[in-house]
A and B are shown apart, each in its own frame.
Chain A
Amino acid sequence: GDSVTQMEGPVTLSEEAFLTINCTYTATGYPSLFWYVQYPGEGLQLLLKATKADDKGSNKGFEATYRKETTSFHLEKGSVQVSDSAVYFCALSDPGYIPTFGRGTSLIVHP
Chain B
Amino acid sequence: GAGVSQSPSNKVTEKGKDVELRCDPISGHTALYWYRQSLGQGLEFLIYFQGNSAPDKSGLPSDRFSAERTGGSVSTLTIQRTQQEDSAVYLCASSGGQDYTEAFFGQGTRLTVV
Contacts and interface: CB of A to CB of B under 8 A. Distances in A.
Q: Do A and B bind each other?
A: yes
B42 A102 contact: yes
A56 B107 CA distance: 28
B65 interface: no
Interface residues of A, number: 23
A34 B99 CA distance: 13
B36 to A, nearest CB: 12
Interface string B19-63: 000000000000001010000011101001010000010000000
A99 B48 CA distance: 10
B102 A93 contact: yes
A102 B45 CA distance: 12
Contact of B103 (A31, A51, A93, A94): A93
Contacts of A49: 102
Interface string B83-114: 00000000101010001111111111000000
A98 B33 contact: yes
Contacts of B108: 42-43
A103 to B, nearest CB: 4
Interface in A52-111: 89, 91, 93-96, 98-99, 101-104
A46 interface: yes
A43 B106 contact: yes
Given A44-B93, A96-B50, 4 more contacts: A42-B108, A44-B105, A93-B101, A98-B48
Interface of A: 31-32, 34, 36, 42-46, 49, 51, 89, 91, 93-96, 98-99, 101-104
Interface of B: 4, 6, 33, 35, 41-43, 45, 48, 50, 56, 91, 93, 95, 99-108
